[in-house]
């Protein structure tokens, strides 16, 4: 069944589209953003893609996982090794890496989701640690702590990325597509099933949902987005090292999701961009930055457990109620006056 | 050779087990994963370093003051990271807040004591010879103190009144409050015990590994031990951690640089074969 769009919705979509178009055209210009800032924004978009996957598994499914960084690393390393050591074409390497890491995350999901809740999180830490050890010790393939450099630039056949400005255009479009996919998942059967698993697993089972398969599927989706982000990261930075795919980085992704608001796709974007760009603006704190950051996270969880979007939704609801109450009281007043006249 | 590996393995396992016990106690009491546990362990190392080298206390003074300081830290940690969030509808918020605490603790330690690793003398110096094996006394000491602490925790929880109170709170906080148990005191006590265990662990491990911020990453082995041993039980966690220690030390025979990888491969293999861990109790998460 297809609902007709109301006028306000049409206006909303058009405005969003125009805004995206404006960002797409204005931002990647040397006079607007300098090269360094462009790189930061690009990294932000890449992290956002990884965080989107995490928002499916954490926000919808309620499962805390530290597998984002290792799967991302897997994608990045496969891309890097295939292009630099075996001379594959970038696009082919990227697709192979995506496929391989998605299949891998399917099998990992099968294994890890035999555990529940907290113990699943413990086990996913094991995954992060395992990958970090492999990345930093397999000298022949991964180059050990030195990493891999000279990864070729991304190209899409007709469009070749040569600088950060070109990358922005590609990443921006990929980012929007991923955003729409996740927003769509949220409204699909799978998204609702996942949310029911998060809220009450036993109830979900009673409704006839295969909770195990749903959770594994969410792990695969998260793995897909993470490896996509990893592949893009490798080709944009042209250099990767194990440090970027550490356990700590996974923790940062978790914080990004929570900052924006677990329950919304837009929140993921907000959280990622804030946490990527804010450190650049807070350079003056220098050595105190990380302390402020850590304490900030604790305070954030205290003040707004549902993140920025949670606060926004709360405000909206309160405003709505205030307006309704006002209207009601006005009507009541009117009624009162009429009554008195009679 | 094998004796030496076995003893170092068991003593490492003891250190992991001290951390794992603290973790399990918190998980059982409040149903929260404490991701800052490795950082509390590291804090234990730094605090004892401060007591021995900056305040120049004798050994018994270090032990006594250490326990008091750990208890205070545990309570402070609980009141800052867990207590304000106890009524939040979503457990993940507490988990994330412990992640934030782990970052903050690491930075606090770095700002106070600097980022250069500090060396610490072993509590008992010297080397002992068992058969063909030569061992630091420190390893033996770790096993002895670790064993004593475990016994202490067992007695505390099974034989004393305060232990019963803590267990009751862990089982059902609401019911415990109904029969007049001060829940706040009980949970604070759990955090104190937990912090004391990992703090002593940090103190014991410090002479072997230097006092540095990377001590915190040892908690990941404790996580692995918990999963390996089976869920929800302190006994399972201890056995799991000892196994992890042994696997780690014996993997030297095969490879040196992949030690961590072997540990976690074994972990994942066990999960595939026997998802409930070695002690196959099926206890699901606290809601």
Burial of B113 (0-12, 13-18, 19+ CB in 10 A): middle
Q: Which 3 state secondary structure label does DSSP give B172?
A: coil
Provide the number of structural domains found in chain B.
1
A-to-B residue pairs, Cβ atoms closer than 8 angstroms: 142
pLDDT for residue B284 is more than 70: no
Q: Which of B100, B214, B244 to mutate to test the interface with A (most CBs of A within 10 A)?
A: B100
Question: Span A83-91, mean pLDDT?
Answer: 87
Contacting B residues, span 199-238, partner chain A, CB-CB under 8 Å: 217, 220, 223-224, 226-227, 231
**φ and ψ at residue A227, rounded to 5 degrees:** -70, -35
With an 8 Å Cβ cutoff, are A291 and B104 in contact?
Answer: yes
In a domain, B234, yes or no: no
Chain B CB contacts of A298 below 8 Å? 80-81, 97, 100-101, 104
Distance of residue B187 Cα from the nearest chain A Cα, in angstroms: 19
**Domain for residue B236, yes or no?**
no
- In a domain, residue B270? The reply is no
Residues of A with Cβ-Cβ distance to B273 under 8 angstroms: none
What's residue A334's pLDDT?
A: 64
DSSP state of B118: B
What is the C-alpha separation between A44 and A276, in angstroms, rounded?
A: 6
Has residue B87 got a pLDDT over 50? Answer: yes
Q: Residue A96: pLDDT band by 50, 70, 90 thresholds?
A: very high
Q: Which has more pLDDT, A228 or A321?
A: A228
So what's the pLDDT on residue A35?
83
State residue A300 phi and psi, 5-degree precision. Answer: -55, -45
pLDDT at A335: 55
Res B14: pLDDT = 92
Helices (H), chain B: 2-30, 37-49, 59-77, 91-113, 137-159, 161-171, 173-178, 183-209, 219-229, 234-250, 259-273
**Does some domain include residue B110?**
yes
Interface contact A114-B275, CB threshold 8 A: yes
Tell me if A258 sits within 8 A of A249, measured CB to CB: no
Q: Is the pLDDT of residue B101 over 80?
A: yes
pLDDT digit string (tens) for B152-210? 988 988 888 888 888 888 888 888 889 988 888 889 999 999 999 999 999 888 888 88
- Contacts B88 to A, Cβ<8 Å: 301, 305
> For A302, which of B31, B84, B224 is closest by C-beta distance?
B84
**What is the domain range of residue B168?**
2-213
Mean per-residue pLDDT, A173-182: 91
pLDDT > 70 fraction of chain A, expressed in percent and rounded: 95
Q: What is the pLDDT of residues B17-54, one digit of tens each?
A: 999 998 888 888 887 888 889 999 999 999 999 998 88
Query: Which of the four pLDDT bands, split at 50, 70 and 90, describes residue B232?
Result: low
What SS3 string covers chain A? CCCCCCHHHHHHHHHHHHHHHHHHHHCCCCCCCCHHHHHHHHHHHHHHHHHHHHHHHHHHCCCCCCCHHHHHHHHHHHHHHHHHCCCCCHHHHHHHHHHHHHHHHHHHHHHHCCCCHHHHHHHHHHHHHHHHHHHHHCHHHHCHHHCEECCCCCECCCCECCCHHHHHHHHHHHHHHHHHHHHHHHHCHHHHHHHHHHHCHHHHHHCCCCHHHHHHHHHHHHHHHHHHHHHHHHHHHCEECHHHHCHHHHHHHHHHHHHHCCCCHHHHHHHHHHHHHHHHHCHHHHHHHHHHHHHHHHHHHHHCCCHHHHHHHHHHHHHHHHHHHHHHHHHHHHHHHHHHHC
Q: What's the DSSP call for residue B62?
A: H
Which tops the pLDDT comparison, B97 or B1?
Answer: B97
* Complex ipTM tops 0.90: no
Say if residue B233's pLDDT is above 50. Answer: yes
Asked if A72 and A234 touch (Cβ cutoff 8 Å), the reply is no
CA diameter of chain A: 95
How many Cβ atoms are within 10 Å of A322's Cβ, its own excluded? 10
Is it the case that residue B69 has pLDDT exceeding 90?
yes
Residue range B117-138, pLDDT digits in tens: 888 887 777 777 777 777 788 8
Decide if B117 is inside a domain. yes
Compare A234 and A336 and report the one with higher pLDDT.
A234
Task: Check whether A89 has a pLDDT greater than 60.
Answer: yes
Q: Please check the confidence at residue B223 and state whether its pLDDT lies above 60.
A: yes
Residue A211 clears pLDDT 70, i.e. is over it: yes
pLDDT of A49 over the 60 cut: yes
DSSP-assigned letter for residue B214: G
Q: Are B231 and B3 in contact (CB under 8 A)?
A: no
pLDDT of residue A101: 94
Q: Examine the pLDDT at A221 and tell me if it is beyond 60.
A: yes
pLDDT at position B285 is 45
Cβ-nearest to B285 among A118, A132, A306: A118
pLDDT reported for residue A219 = 94
Residues A118-169: tens digit of each pLDDT: 778 878 888 888 888 888 888 888 888 888 888 888 887 777 777 888 888 8
| Average pLDDT value for chain A | 85
**What confidence tens digit (pLDDT) does each residue in A307-320 have?**
778 788 888 888 88
Residue B260 lies in a domain: no
Please check whether residue B196 touches A, CB under 8 A. Answer: no
Q: How far apart are the CA of A200 and the nearest CA of chain B, in angstroms?
A: 9
Find the chain A residues whose C-beta atoms sit closer than 8 A to any C-beta of B: 58, 62, 64, 111-112, 114-119, 121-123, 125-127, 129-130, 132-134, 137, 247, 251, 254-255, 258, 262, 287-288, 290-291, 293-298, 300-302, 305-306
> Out of B103, B267, B272, whose CB is closest to A290?
B103
Which one of B33, B96, B258 has the shortest CB-CB distance to A301?
Answer: B96
CA distances, A234 to each of A149, A172, A283, A303, B241 (Å):
9, 17, 26, 37, 37
Contact yes or no for A290 and B107 at CB 8 A? yes
**Among candidate residues B193, B241, B248, the one with its CA nearest the CA of residue B75:** B193
Which chain A residues are within 8 Å of B94, Cβ to Cβ? 301
Closest chain A residue to the Cα of B272, Cα to Cα: A111
- The answer, yes or no, to whether residue A106 has pLDDT greater than 50, is yes
Residue of A69, A106, A298 to mutate, testing the B interface (most B Cβ within 10 Å of its Cβ): A298
Q: Which of B21, B73, B83, B84 has the alpha carbon at shortest distance from B50?
A: B73
Chain B residues touching residue A306 (CB < 8 angstroms): 90
Residue A341 has a pLDDT of 47
Q: Classify residue B132 by its DSSP letter.
A: T
The answer, as to whether pTM is greater than 0.90, is: no
């Amino acid at each position: 069944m297809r609902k007709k769009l109301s006028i306000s919705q049409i206006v909303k979509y058009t405005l969003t589209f125009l805004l995206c178009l404006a960002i797409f055209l204005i931002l990647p210009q040397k006079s607007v953003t300098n090269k360094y800032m462009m790189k930061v924004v690009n990294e932000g978009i890449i992290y956002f893609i990884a965080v989107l996957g995490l928002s499916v598994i954490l926000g919808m499914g309620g499962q805390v996982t530290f597998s984002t960084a290792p799967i991302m690393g897997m994608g990045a390393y496969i891309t890097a090794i295939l292009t630099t050591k075996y001379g594959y074409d970038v696009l082919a390497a990227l697709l192979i890496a995506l496929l391989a890491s998605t299949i891998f995350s399917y099998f990992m999901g099968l294994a890890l989701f035999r555990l529940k809740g907290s113990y699943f999180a413990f086990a996913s830490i094991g995954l992060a640690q395992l990958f970090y050890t492999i990345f930093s010790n397999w000298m022949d393939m991964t180059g050990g702590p030195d990493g891999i450099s000279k990864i070729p630039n991304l190209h899409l056949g007709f469009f070749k990325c040569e600088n950060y400005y070109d990358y922005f255009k590609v990443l921006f479009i990929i980012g929007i597509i991923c955003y729409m996919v996740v927003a769509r998942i949220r409204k699909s059967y799978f998204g609702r099933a996942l949310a029911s698993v998060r809220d009450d697993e036993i109830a979900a089972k009673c409704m006839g949902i295969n909770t195990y398969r749903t959770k594994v599927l969410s792990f695969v989706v998260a793995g897909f987005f993470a490896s996509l982000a990893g592949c893009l990261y490798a080709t944009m930075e042209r250099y990767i090292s194990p440090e970027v795919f550490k356990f700590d980085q996974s923790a940062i992704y978790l914080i990004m999701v929570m900052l924006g608001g677990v329950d919304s796709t837009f929140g993921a974007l907000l959280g990622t961009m804030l946490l990527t760009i804010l450190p650049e603006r807070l350079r003056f704190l220098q050595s105190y930055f990380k302390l402020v950051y850590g304490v900030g996270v604790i305070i954030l969880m205290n003040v707004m457990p549902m993140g920025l979007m949670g606060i926004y939704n709360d405000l909206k609801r309160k405003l709505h109620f205030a307006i309704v109450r006002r209207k009601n009281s006005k009507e009541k007043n009117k009624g009162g006056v009429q009554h008195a006249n009679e | 050779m094998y004796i030496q590996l076995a003893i170092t393995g068991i003593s490492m396992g003891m250190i992991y087990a001290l951390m794992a016990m603290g973790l399990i106690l918190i998980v059982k009491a409040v149903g929260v994963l404490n991701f800052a546990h490795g950082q509390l362990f590291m804090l234990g190392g730094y605090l004892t370093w401060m007591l021995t080298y900056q305040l120049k206390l004798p050994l018994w003074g270090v032990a006594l003051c250490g326990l008091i300081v750990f208890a205070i830290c545990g309570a402070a940690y609980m009141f800052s990271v867990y207590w304000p969030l106890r009524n939040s509808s979503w457990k993940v918020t507490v988990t994330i807040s412990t992640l934030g605490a782990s970052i903050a603790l690491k930075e606090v330690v770095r700002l106070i004591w600097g980022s250069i690793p500090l060396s610490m003398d072993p509590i008992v110096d010297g080397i002992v010879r068992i058969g063909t094996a030569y061992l630091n006394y420190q390893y033996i000491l770790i096993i002895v103190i670790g064993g004593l602490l475990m016994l202490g925790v067992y007695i505390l929880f099974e034989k004393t009144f305060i232990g019963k109170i803590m267990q009751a709170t862990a089982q059902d906080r609401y019911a415990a409050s109904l029969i007049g148990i001060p829940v706040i005191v009980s949970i604070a006590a759990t955090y104190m015990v937990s912090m004391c265990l990992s703090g002593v662990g940090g103190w014991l491990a410090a002479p072997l590994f230097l006092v540095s911020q990377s001590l915190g990453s040892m908690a990941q082995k404790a996580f692995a031990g918990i999963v390996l041993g089976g869920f929800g039980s302190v006994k399972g966690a201890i056995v799991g951690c000892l196994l992890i220690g042994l696997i780690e030390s014996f993997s030297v025979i095969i490879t040196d640089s992949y030690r961590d990888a072997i540990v976690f491969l074994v972990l994942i293999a066990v999960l595939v074969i026997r998802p409930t861990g070695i002690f196959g109790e099926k206890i699901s998460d606290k809601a």
